[in-house]
Structures are given as structure tokens and as C-alpha cells.
Chains A and B, each alone.
Chain A
Amino acid sequence: MQAALSELSKWLAATSLSHTIQTVGWIIPTLQTIHILCVAVVFSSAILVDFRVLRLFERDVPLADISRRFLLPIWPVLLVLLVTGSLLIIGEPRRSLLNSTFYLKMALLLVALLLTLGLQRSIASSPGFWDKDRGRRMAGKALATLSIAVWCGILFAGRWIAYTQAG
């Protein structure tokens, strides 16, 4: 597994696209800037909806409205994150592909996306889903808290990638 990833990194680093990203000075900082701005949008949107579920924000606005307003725009922005993230990996494959923190980040991302998708689907199918009874409200708050923790974990892991690089 490790050897295969090492081979893949070597192959990626030898491509002409990787060479361009490595040698043209402004590409990596520009990609990183776009990436972090998109992270800000996705992170804030998810957190705002979680805060609404926790009744800390826009309590008088229906959750379905908040979900439509903030969760729908997450998906196109995620596409930008996927593209810029992939280009950053192609530019410096060893930095992430041979780094366990990167895989932690991806695993947390998967959990966060499943939570977000679940929240979005449940609210779309029945607007009062998280407000039916005490049990649902508690479950909603637990999910929102978990979602906030996981999104913060993604940002922490993202930063930590720089500090846990393979030699």
C-alpha cells in the first residue's frame, strides 16, 4: 500500500501538469488562497445551519429556509475545493498522499458530508423533522454538535498536514 502510494506520488510528480504547478511560482499560493476561501464558505454555511439546529441563530426562521439558504450552496463550492485540492496534490503529491493526517482529513470530510447530506435530506422531506418531539430535538442537537466538531477537525487536520509530512 505504502509502496503503491509512493509509486503513484512519483508518477504524479513526473507529469507535466505537476511540473508546471511546481515551477510557476504563483500557482500554489493562488490555489491555496482559493481553497481556503472556499473552506471558509463551506465551513461557515455548515456551522450556521448547525447553530440553527441548536437554536443559537435565526430561531424565528424555519429550519427548512435556513437549510435551503445555506446547505444548497455548499455543493458547488465543494466542487471548487475538489479541483483546487486535487491540483495541490498533483503539485506536491508526497506532501499529502504519503501523510496519514491527509487520510484523517478525508475520512472526517466523508463523515461531515454524510451528516450534511442527511440533515439536508431529512429537512427537505419533512420540514419539522427535527422538531417533532423531545427525542428528535435531542437527536438533532447531538448531530449538530457532532457536525461542528467534525468540521473543526477537518480544518485542524488540514493545517496539521504541513507538520506531519513524510521525510
Chain B
Amino acid sequence: MMSLFLDVIGYFENSAVADAIRENDVLFPAIESVHVVAICLVVGSILVLDLRLLGFASIRRPVSPGLRVRSCR
């Protein structure tokens, strides 16, 4: 099991993609930066919904405009 795991790690480590990322000065920080931008967008947008669901923010807005339409009928 452990050796299979090490084989998989070795496979990725020796791949051309890994080599390109290691050898290039810009690639690693560039990928990392895109990763951080995406994390920030995910955390920020989920937070908007969670704060609304918890009743801490925008409580006069319906959680889902669609839900309000249905409940009115």
C-alpha cells in the first residue's frame, strides 16, 4: 500500500509538468497566486450566504428570491 503511494508520488514528481514547474522561476508563484485568488472568491461568496443564513447580514433580503415567489403564491 505504502509503496504504491510512493510510486504515485514518484510518477508525479518525475512528470514533465512537475519538472516545468520546478525549473521555472515564475510558474510556481503564478499558480499559487491564481489558487489564492480563487480561494478568496470561494470563501468570500460562501461567507455572504452563511452570514445571511445565520441572520447576521442582509436579513431583509430573501435567501433565495425564487423561494419567496413560490411561498407568496
Contact = CB atoms under 8 A, between A and B. Distances in A.
Interface in A111-163: 152, 155-156, 158-160, 162-163
A37 B39 CA distance: 10
A155 B36 contact: yes
A40 B50 CA distance: 14
Given A69-B58, A159-B29, A160-B29, A41 B47 contact: yes
Contacts of A162: 29
For chain A, which range describes its interface: under 10, 10 to 19, 20 to 34, or 35 or more residues?
A: 10 to 19
Interface residues of B, number: 18
Nearest to B25: A163
B8 interface: no
Contacts of B30: 156
B47 A44 contact: yes
A40 B58 contact: no
Contact of B33 (A39, A43, A48, A160): A160
Contacts of A159: 29, 32-33, 36
A9 interface: no
A45 interface: yes
A136 B33 CA distance: 33
Interface of B: 25, 28-30, 32-33, 36-37, 39-41, 43-45, 47-48, 57-58
15 contacts: A36-B39, A40-B40, A40-B44, A41-B43, A41-B47, A43-B40, A44-B40, A44-B47, A45-B44, A48-B45, A156-B33, A159-B29, A159-B36, A160-B29, A163-B28
Interface of A: 36-37, 39-41, 43-45, 47-48, 69, 152, 155-156, 158-160, 162-163
